[in-house]
C-alpha cells in the first residue's frame, strides 16, 4: 500500500518524465545537424532514486522508459532494461552513497552511466542492431554526465527533491 507522499512523488516523477519526453519531441532544430544532447530522463531517474528511493518503484521506471521507447521508435525494451538494472544498482547502494559529498556521487553516477551506455552499445552490436557512431556516443555520454548536476539542482528547486534522511530511510525500510 502506497502512502500519500509516495503517491505524490511517483506522480511528480511521471509528470516530469512526460514533460522531458514532450521536449524531446519538439522540432527545435529543423534540418540542422547538431551535437547529441544529454539524456535528461536518465539523469532525473538516477537523481530521484538516490534522493528518494521510496518514491519510485522499479515497475514505474520500467514503464516510463518503455513508453519513451515506443514514442521515440527505439528498440523496444533494451534501454528500459538497462536503465532498470542501473537504477536498482544505485538504489541498493543508496545507504552507502547517502553521506558522500556531491562530487563523489557525481563520479559514481558518471561511472554508472558509462557502464549503462557501454552495455547498451555492446548489446546493440551483439544483436546486430544499428549502432550510432562512437564519437556521437561519447559526446552523448559526456553531455549526460555534465547535465547531471543541473538536473539535480532543478529537481531540488522545482520539485523539492532532497536527500532522504537516515531516520526517513529507516522508517521507509520498516514500512515495506
168 within some domain:
yes
131 within some domain:
yes
CA–CA–CA angle 52, 58, 61 (5° rounding)? 85
30 within some domain:
no
111 within some domain:
yes
Q: Where are the alpha helices (DSSP H) in the chain?
A: 4-25, 40-51, 58-72, 78-92, 94-97, 102-126, 134-159, 166-175
49 within some domain:
yes
126 within some domain:
yes
Half-sphere exposure at residue 171, Cβ-oriented, CA atoms within 13 angstroms: 8
31 within some domain:
no
Total number of domains constituting the chain: 1
pTM (two decimals): 0.89
16 is in which domain, residue-wise? 4-24+36-175
Would you give per-residue pLDDT tens digits along the chain (176 residues)? Answer: 568 888 898 999 999 999 999 988 887 666 666 778 899 999 999 999 998 888 899 999 999 999 999 999 888 889 999 999 999 999 888 777 777 889 999 999 999 999 999 999 999 999 998 898 999 999 999 999 999 999 999 999 988 888 777 666 666 555 55
Amino acid at each position: 500500500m502506497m502512502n500519500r507522499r509516495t503517491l505524490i512523488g511517483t506522480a511528480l516523477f511521471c509528470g516530469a518524465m512526460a514533460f522531458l519526453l514532450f521536449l524531446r519531441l519538439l522540432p527545435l532544430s529543423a534540418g540542422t545537424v547538431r551535437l547529441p544532447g544529454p539524456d535528461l530522463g536518465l539523469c532525473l531517474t538516477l537523481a530521484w532514486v538516490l534522493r528518494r528511493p521510496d518514491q519510485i518503484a522499479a515497475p514505474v521506471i520500467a514503464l516510463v522508459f518503455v513508453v519513451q521507447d515506443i514514442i521515440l521508435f527505439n528498440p523496444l525494451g533494451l534501454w528500459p532494461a538497462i536503465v532498470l538494472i542501473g537504477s536498482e544498482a544505485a538504489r541498493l547502494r543508496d545507504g552507502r552513497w547517502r553521506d558522500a559529498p556531491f562530487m563523489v556521487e557525481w563520479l559514481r553516477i558518471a561511472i554508472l552511466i558509462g557502464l549503462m551506455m557501454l552495455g547498451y552499445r555492446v548489446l546493440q552490436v551483439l544483436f546486430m542492431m544499428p549502432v550510432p557512431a562512437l564519437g556521437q556516443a561519447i559526446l552523448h555520454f559526456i553531455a549526460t554526465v555534465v547535465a547531471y548536476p543541473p538536473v539535480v539542482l532543478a529537481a531540488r528547486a522545482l520539485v523539492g527533491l532532497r536527500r532522504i534522511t537516515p531516520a526517513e530511510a529507516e522508517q521507509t525500510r520498516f514500512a515495506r
